[in-house]
Structure 1
Amino acid sequence: MDVVTVTADAEEFTCNAYFVDGDSPALVDAGAMPGVEDVVAEHTSSLDRVALTHQHHDHVDELDAVLDAFDDPELAAYAEHARRDRALSDGDEVVLGDETFEVVYTPGHATDHVAFVGDTALFSGDVVVYNDGAFDDGSFGRTDMPGQSRERLIESLRTLLDRLPESVTSMYAGHGDPFHATDDESVHDVVERALERAERREPKYPEE
């Protein structure tokens, strides 16, 4: 599966938006980088769908620009959106590129948060990331802002582990670097480490 981080050169705060190439070209999140639609156009002339992990501003600020540029591809999202075509629910399936992914509802960082779990890859949004300035090799989304819940995020990480196939070898998170499994460390290891750290229930950042 060919995955490109189309917001890699952003100068403003944004999530990682991922173009997934294949028979059903897709974008996971749109990000907040002006001109992201032009970067996507360097890789494809069409998009079948845009799938959102959640609708925090850093994930959707440029969504309208992407939808307009690619003639309204399907917008798949858990929460309501004026341009949503498909409402996602836990257990649904969505095709990204050449792979079918299960939608796993993973709130805590956001009430509408979902992750996309495939046979070889995980698009984890902000529920779990590899590195983010707070922790390396396994971190979790912040839960100190209104509407967020550390307890619910912990439950979501446990759910994600239960539904994550051992065959998944790549994790594409909303922030930080993508992770690819090695002989010494698996995607499961990264998520388990994030869960262990979240379960300490200590502030993620010293200023919290």
Structure 2
Amino acid sequence: MEVHTVTAEAESFTCNAYLALGETPTLVDAGAYDGVVDAVREHTDDLDQVVLTHQHGDHVEQLDAVVDAFDPTVYAYDDHPLRDEPVTDGSEVAIGDEAFDVVYTPGHADDHVAYVSESTLFSGDVVVHDDGAFDYGSFGRTDMAGQSRERLVQSIRDLLDRLPDSVEHMYSGHGDTFSGDVRDVVETALERAEQREPKYPDE
């Protein structure tokens, strides 16, 4: 499956938004980069759907612009004015050329989900490969209102339970993409999250 990070040129804060090409061209998160529509059009004029990992502003700010430009079907866990189809834990969604299971992974956000296929993980913010706190296995922050480290830890455990050993590509909401032993990255993130220590000094 061909995947492009269409927020790569952003100079302001945004999540990573991923364009997965194939039988079902899909944007995973819309991001906050005002050039995302043009970035998608560099690769395709046909965007079938947008799937959201969660609805924090850095993941959905440009959703209106993407919907206006491409009229895709929008999938999300929680209600949203532009949502066409709800996803729930255990749902299946086609992304690019693969079928993905939806795994409910709250803690960083109450509506957070990850998408898992036999080869690929779109993890959103529940687990990331690297960020300003850790390299090779980090996790979403839980120090803001409505967030929970305990629930995030359980979500990472749930994700591991549903993660096939064959997964070798990880596309997270922040940081770099990763190809290799994705399970090891997620297990490392879990070990760090389980220590219950603040991720950031002011947490």
Normalized against structure 2, the TM-score is what?
Answer: 0.99
Other-structure match for 1:146: 145
2:188 matches 1:193:
yes
Paired residues, number: 203
Percent identity for Structure 1 against Structure 2: 68
Cα deviation, 1:79-109, whole Å, max 9, x if unaligned, reads 0000110000000000000000000000000
Structure 1 residue aligned with 2:34: 34
Matches of 1:206 and 1:147 in 2, distance apart? 19
Alpha-carbon shift at residue 206 of structure 1 (Å): 1.0
1:110-125 paired onto structure 2 within 5 Å: 110-125=109-124
Give me the whole-angstrom Cα distance separating, in 2, the residues matched to 1:166 and 1:197.
Answer: 21
Measure, in 2, the Cα distance between the counterparts of 1:35 and 1:9. Answer: 8
Could you say what secondary structure the match of 1:153 adopts? helix
Q: Residues of 1 paired with 2:193 and 2:44: CA distance?
A: 38
2:114 alignment partner AA: A
Unaligned runs of 5+ residues in structure 2 are: none
Q: What is the CA distance between 1:35 and its match in structure 2? A: 1.8
Unpaired runs of 5+ residues, structure 1, are: none
Equivalent residues in 2 for 1:1-208 (5 A)?
Answer: 1-70=1-70, 72-181=71-180, 186-208=181-203
Q: Partner letter of residue 83 of structure 1?
A: L
- RMSD, aligned CA: 0.4
- Matched residue SS, 1:66: helix
What is the distance in 1 between the residues matched to 2:171 and 2:35?
21
- The runs of 4+ residues in structure 1 deviating greater than 2 Å are none
Q: Secondary structure at the match of 2:39?
A: helix
User: Whole-Å Cα distance in 2 between the matches of residues 178 and 14 of structure 1?
Assistant: 15
Q: What residue identity is the alignment partner of 1:142? A: R
In 2, Cα distance between equivalents of 1:173 and 1:25: 18
For 1:152, what is the secondary structure of its paired residue? helix
Q: Separation in 2 of the partners of 1:105 and 1:78?
A: 9
For the residues of structure 1 that align with 2:140 and 2:114, how far apart are their CA atoms?
13
